[in-house]
């Protein structure tokens, strides 16, 4: 049909615009960032800890460590609470309560990150400073804030994963005399493993990319953190903090920071793809 | 191929909806473009100058109805870049111009003291410039070494590129670097918030913006007041500049003349800056 064809062309065009956007962003980041990365030397850029843009020294090691530390912390919190919540909502909760709790959890995703950051600064940071010591702005504070921010991602994808485990497995397990809890731990979670791993990795992507909340609660030092009470600077906050002022090589170095972040996120996403594909295969065998 | 009439209709409806959305965006875009005021002055630059520029803009708009003055932040460097790229009519700058920037036309509108601020409970009243340098470079790490309580010093600095930071580095740090352990905050307000709540904190910020919730320490024995700064005694003083290209719009010139008038200078003095007259 003629109209069908026209419309499918229009839709194709729109789909391509989105992909073009991605391509342009990639090209632009690399075009701006690569020259300085080559000039400084990738090894020095990644492993040096001296970030003095005005003196022409660019090393982002402490920020890479900062990003990873904050992301790990966020994941520990996100996994413990997120998967616990997902198990409850998927299996042990009366449906009416689920219909209230699930939208509430999803609402968490709709709160702007600057609000999380603000609450972090006003409530969390003073608590940490007064009761645990240190400046308050810390790995711990950012981990908690980010941990809460990744909860909706982890919870909703984990629930889907747990629910997609065929009911026959569960019934079989219960028929064999296992308790509900044994069935959950030993069977359902294992069968849903790939989906849950994918949820965690998506959460990781969100945590490592978050900027505004982290700028507000992380403290943005250039030093390596010695403990979870020490402040850190992440890759994203480095870009956002200094972008407004940067010119010349400083600006390029910020783009190069973006390149490194881009590569890290690409690696994480590829892992997510591989893991979820692998999961589908193993489920077929099972 | 038996085409389902219903699906086809839905498809047409759908693409019609998308077409509508696009045309609305297009129309809004066109209107957005034509909305730019003929008599508008665009000011971009230092976040330290911004609150004062906004105040002056308001007053100027009140006196000259029909002229619209828009003030944006972004930082001293961003302000100068915007002037070079013709995005802004006037760039504001809270440091000396450097390198190729000196080709631009700069107008000193006021001077600003840089205050060293600590928590109100801090017993330290006076610091020498060497002491401040040693604190910020990480050589002195406890308030005890300066005669205060036995608490660690928490340094709060502005981010790299900030005009306030550049002025501080130039006037206090000299060749030494600000410690890696320093907390970086991205505005005067954030520094203020942090120092206000942290008994161990020390930071620096624009004298005009300190307010009365923080304690300012004397530098080399001289109190950070406008009078001392005006008399040239207080050592930490930096310029607030308006930067323009050499050719200038009549409205912008009018605004600059207004800023240099005694009326506007009086406003700046009242708000804590050091007037040039």
- A62 with B180: Cβ contact below 8 A: yes
pLDDT of residue A250: 87
**Residues 6 or more apart from B131 whose CB is under 8 A from it?**
B140, B146
Using CB atoms, which residue from A4, A53, A241 is nearest to B184? A241
Residues of B in contact with A250 (CB under 8 A): 160-161
- Per-residue pLDDT tens digits for B144-195: 999 888 889 999 999 887 878 888 998 899 888 899 889 998 888 889 988 9
Instruction: Tell me which residue of B250, B78, B97, B141 sits closest to A248, measured CA to CA.
Output: B78
With contact defined as beta carbons under 8 Å apart, do B113 and B237 qualify?
yes
Residues in chain A: 286
ipTM here: 0.79
Contacts of B84 in chain A (CB under 8 A): none
Which of A207, A211, A209, A216 has the alpha carbon at shortest distance from A117?
Answer: A216
Residue A286 predicted with pLDDT over 50: no
The answer to whether B181 contacts A3, with C-beta atoms less than 8 Å apart, is no
Residue B1, pLDDT score = 42
State the nearest Cα–Cα gap between A75 and chain B, in angstroms.
Answer: 24
B252 vs A192, B71, B111, B162, B198, CA distance in Å?
66, 13, 21, 25, 43
Strand bridging mode B183-185 / B201-206: unpaired
Name, in order, each residue with C-beta under 8 angstroms of B84's C-beta and a sequence gap of 6 or more.
B104, B245
State the pLDDT at residue A60. Answer: 93
Q: State residue B34's pLDDT score.
A: 47
- Cα A12 to Cα B190: distance, rounded to the nearest angstrom: 47
Q: What are the structural domains, with CATH classification, of chain A? A: 2-285 (1.10.3720.10)
Q: Which of B150, B159, B189 to mutate to test the interface with A (most CBs of A within 10 A)?
A: B159
Task: For A198-250, give the secondary structure using H, E and C.
Answer: HHHHHHHHHHHHCCHHHHHHHECCCCCCCCCCCCECCHHHHHHHHHCCCCCHH
**Distance spanning both ends of chain A, measured CA to CA:** 44
The alpha carbon of residue A72 is apart from the nearest alpha carbon of chain B, in Å, by 22
Minimal Cα–Cα distance from A254 to chain B, Å? 12
What are the Cα distances from residue B240, in Å, to A146, B162, B277? Answer: 39, 13, 14
Distances (CA, A) of B44 to A190, B32, B110, B242: 57, 20, 17, 10
Helix, strand or coil, per DSSP, at residue B2: coil
Return mean pLDDT, chain B.
85
| Angle of the B250-260 helix axis to the B262-270 helix axis, nearest 10 | 60
Disruptive mutation site among A245, A248, A257 for chain B (greatest number of B CBs within 10 Å): A245
pTM score, whole prediction: 0.79
Using the predicted structure, report yes or no on whether residue B6 has a pLDDT greater than 70: no
Residue B38's pLDDT band (cuts 50, 70, 90) = low
- On chain B, the residues whose CB falls within 8 A of the CB of A132 are none
> What structural domains does chain B harbor?
2-111+239-275 (3.40.190.10), 113-237 (3.40.190.10)
List the single residue in A7, A121, A220 with the smallest CB-CB distance to B15: A7
Tokens of B20: 């509508």
Q: Do B193 and A121 touch (CB under 8 A)?
A: yes
- The confidence score (pLDDT) of residue A279 equals 59
Residues B108/B239, Cβ–Cβ less than 8 Å = yes
Interface probe for A, chosen from B4, B136, B180, B190 (most Cβ of A below 10 Å), is B180
* Residues sharing a CB contact under 8 Å with residue A271, sequence separation 6 or more, in sequence order: A201
Residue B203 confidence (pLDDT)? 94
pLDDT for A54-104, tens place per residue? 788 899 999 999 999 999 999 999 999 999 999 999 988 898 999 999 999
Name the minimum distance, in Å, from the CA of A44 to any CA of chain B.
18
To the nearest whole percent, how much of chain B has pLDDT over 90? 32
CB B57 within 8 A of CB B252: no
User: Of A11, A221, A244, which has the smallest distance from its Cβ to B78's Cβ?
Assistant: A244
pLDDT at A214: 93
Q: Which residue of B has its CA nearest to A244?
A: B74
Q: Return the ∠ at Cα A84 (arms to A79 and A85), rounded to 5°.
A: 105
DSSP string over A17-84: HHHHHHHHHHHHHHHHHHHHHHHH-HHHHHH----BGGGTB---HHHHHHHHHHHHHHHHHHHHHHHH
B159 to A54: CB separation less than 8 angstroms, yes or no? no
Q: Does B183 touch chain A (CB under 8 A)?
A: yes
Q: List all residues 6 or more positions away from A190 whose beta carbon is below 8 Å from its beta carbon.
A: none
**B182 interaction partners in chain A (CB closer than 8 Å):** 221-222
3-state secondary structure at position B118: strand
Tell me if B162 sits within 8 A of B185, measured CB to CB: no
Q: pLDDT category, B25, cuts 50, 70, 90?
A: confident
- Decide if B82 touches A, using CB distance below 8 A: no
Residue B208, SS3 per DSSP: helix
For tokens 């569960």, the residue is A170
CB of B74 within 8 Å of any CB in chain A?
yes
* Per-residue pLDDT reduced to its tens digit, B180-239: 889 998 888 889 988 998 889 999 998 888 888 899 999 999 998 888 888 888 989 988
Name the 3-class secondary structure at B119.
Answer: coil
Contact yes or no for B180 and A221 at CB 8 A? yes
Cα–Cα separations (whole angstroms), residue B111 to A142, B60, B63, B157, B232: 38, 20, 24, 21, 11
- DSSP, residue by residue, A167-188: HHHHHHHHHTT--HHHHIIIII
Give, rounded to a whole angstrom, the gap between the first and last alpha carbons of chain B: 86
Q: Tell if the CB–CB gap between B181 and A223 is shorter than 8 Å.
A: yes
Q: What is the mean pLDDT of chain A?
A: 89
Contact A1 B74 (CB under 8 A): no
Which residues have CB under 8 Å from A106's CB, separation 6+? A152, A156
Paired tokens of A148: 């809460």
Contacts of B76 in chain A (CB under 8 A): 245
- DSSP H or E stretch at residue B141: none
Check whether B12 has a pLDDT greater than 90: no
Q: What backbone torsions phi and psi does residue B261 show, to the nearest 5 degrees?
A: -70, 160
* Interface contact A14, partner B, CB < 8 A: yes
B78 to A245: CB separation less than 8 angstroms, yes or no: yes
Nearest-Cα distance to chain A for B177, in Å, is 9
């Amino acid at each position: 049909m003629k109209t069908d064809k026209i419309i499918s062309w229009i839709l194709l065009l729109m789909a391509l615009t989105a992909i073009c956007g991605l391509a342009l962003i990639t090209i632009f980041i690399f075009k701006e960032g690569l020259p300085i990365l080559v000039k400084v030397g990738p090894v020095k850029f990644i492993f040096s800890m001296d970030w003095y843009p005005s003196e022409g020294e660019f090393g982002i090691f402490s920020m890479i460590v900062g990003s990873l530390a904050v992301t790990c912390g966020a994941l520990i919190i996100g996994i413990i609470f997120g998967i616990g919540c997902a198990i409850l909502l998927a299996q042990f909760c009366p449906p009416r309560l689920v219909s209230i709790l699930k939208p509430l959890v999803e609402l968490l995703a709709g709160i702007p990150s600057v609000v999380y950051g603000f609450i972090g600064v006003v409530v969390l940071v003073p608590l940490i400073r007064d009761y645990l010591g240190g400046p308050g702005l810390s790995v711990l504070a950012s981990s908690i804030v980010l941990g809460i921010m990744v909860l909706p991602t982890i919870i909703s994808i984990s629930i889907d994963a747990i629910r997609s485990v065929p009911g026959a497995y569960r019934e079989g397990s219960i028929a064999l005399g296992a308790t509900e809890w044994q069935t959950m731990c030993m069977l359902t979670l294992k069968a849903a493993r790939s989906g849950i791993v994918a949820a965690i990795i998506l959460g990781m992507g969100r945590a490592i990319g978050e900027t505004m909340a982290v700028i507000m609660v992380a403290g943005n030092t250039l030093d390596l953190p010695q403990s979870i009470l020490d402040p850190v600077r992440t890759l994203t906050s480095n870009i956002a903090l200094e972008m407004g002022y940067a010119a010349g090589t400083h600006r390029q170095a910020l783009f190069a920071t973006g390149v490194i972040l881009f590569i890290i996120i690409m690696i994480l996403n590829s892992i997510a793809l591989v893991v979820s594909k692998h999961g589908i295969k193993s489920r077929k065998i099972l | 191929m038996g085409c389902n009439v219903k699906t086809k209709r839905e498809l047409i409806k759908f693409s019609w909806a998308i077409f509508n959305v696009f045309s609305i965006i297009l129309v809004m875009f066109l209107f957005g473009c034509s909305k730019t005021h003929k008599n508008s002055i665009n000011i971009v630059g230092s976040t330290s100058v911004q609150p004062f520029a906004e105040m002056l803009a308001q007053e100027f708009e009140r006196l000259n109805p029909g002229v619209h003055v828009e003030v944006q932040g972004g930082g001293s460097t961003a302000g100068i870049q915007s002037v070079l790229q013709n995005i802004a009519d006037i760039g504001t700058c809270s440091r000396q111009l450097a390198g190729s920037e000196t080709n631009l036309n700069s107008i000193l509108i006021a001077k600003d003291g840089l205050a060293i601020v600590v928590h109100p409970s801090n017993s330290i009243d006076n610091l020498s410039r060497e002491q401040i340098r040693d604190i910020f470079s990480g050589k002195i790490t406890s308030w005890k070494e300066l005669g205060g309580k036995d608490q660690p010093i928490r340094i709060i600095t502005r981010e790299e590129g900030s005009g306030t930071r550049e002025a501080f580095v130039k006037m206090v740090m000299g060749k030494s670097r600000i410690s890696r352990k320093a907390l970086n905050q991205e505005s005067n307000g954030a520094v203020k918030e942090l120092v206000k709540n942290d008994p161990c904190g020390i930071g620096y910020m624009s004298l005009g913006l300190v307010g009365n919730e923080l304690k300012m320490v004397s530098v080399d024995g001289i109190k950070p007041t406008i009078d001392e700064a005006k008399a040239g005694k207080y050592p930490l003083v930096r310029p607030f500049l308006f930067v323009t290209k050499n050719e200038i719009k009549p409205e912008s010139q009018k605004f600059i003349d207004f800023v240099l008038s005694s009326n506007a200078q009086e406003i700046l003095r009242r708000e804590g800056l050091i007037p040039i007259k």
